[in-house]
Amino acid sequence: MSIVTTANLAECEPQYAGLRMSADEYFALPDDGFRYELVDGLVCMSPSPTPRHQVVATEIVGQIWAFLREKPVGRVYCELDVNLGKGPGGGDLVYRPDVIFIRAERLAKKKLDRVRIAPDLIVEVVSASSGAYDRRTKFGDYERLGVGEYWIIDPQQGTLTFHRLENGRYVEGKASRDHFASSAIPGFVLDLLRVRELFAD
């Protein structure tokens, strides 16, 4: 396995961008220090998150984590590869959402190695370069492949959009100014004020 240090990362080139492969081949790739996703069988660069991006994602994970400590109805994960199945062209899809949640009854009894099911919830925090990708490509794939709830959080625009899967299609979930009650995480209510406070960071 090759190791790339901070000192020599700038001198390195992404080794895998543009290659076509299966999900299993993708998971077997040595780490070259860059972030990728597998989009319909094609390895694509995924930009590193900004500090504001990370702060917002961490706040959302923290709220869900605190809730699950009291009511363990599932597991929350961040920055985890998710093998969703096949893209529209028949190639494998492996996305790395900012946050995912999977209900307890859908988790495997054995130790979780790879996520190969559609999560009950996916959260994407939009960056400057990912807006269209999150709102179109990923939206379509998450809807088609059965992700129960999809939240799109845009710190730059100051928007939080919540989509729920109903009869195979996403409909916008209703949120108050202060809170959003999730249907994917039974009983969980997201504190929107705390999330919005971080948009200016």
Taking only the tens place, the pLDDT of each residue in 28-77 is 999 988 999 999 999 999 877 888 899 999 999 999 999 999 999 999 99
- Quick check: is 26 in a domain? yes
> Under a CB-based contact definition with an 8 Å cutoff, are residues 160 and 176 in contact?
no
Residue 171, CB-side half-sphere exposure with 13 Å CA sphere: 7
pLDDT of residue 9: 46
- The amino acid at 161: T
**What are the mean pLDDT values of the chain's consecutive 10-residue runs (201 residues total)?**
46 84 96 92 88 94 98 95 94 96 84 87 88 89 97 94 97 94 97 94 71
- Quick check: is 27 in a domain? yes
pTM (two decimals): 0.90
Residues 30 and 107 placed together within one structural domain of the fold: no
Residues 18 and 64 placed together within one structural domain of the fold: no
Residues 28 and 67 placed together within one structural domain of the fold: no
Residues 133 and 52 placed together within one structural domain of the fold: yes
Residues 61 and 79 placed together within one structural domain of the fold: yes
Find residue 48's DSSP bridge partners.
Answer: none
Handedness of CA 35, 33, 10, 54 (dihedral sign): positive
> Under a CB-based contact definition with an 8 Å cutoff, are residues 27 and 81 in contact?
yes
Domain count, the chain: 2
pLDDT of residue 109: 65
CA atoms of 152 and 175, how far apart (whole Å): 13
Neighbours of 161 (CB within 10 A): 18
Domain around 27: 6-44
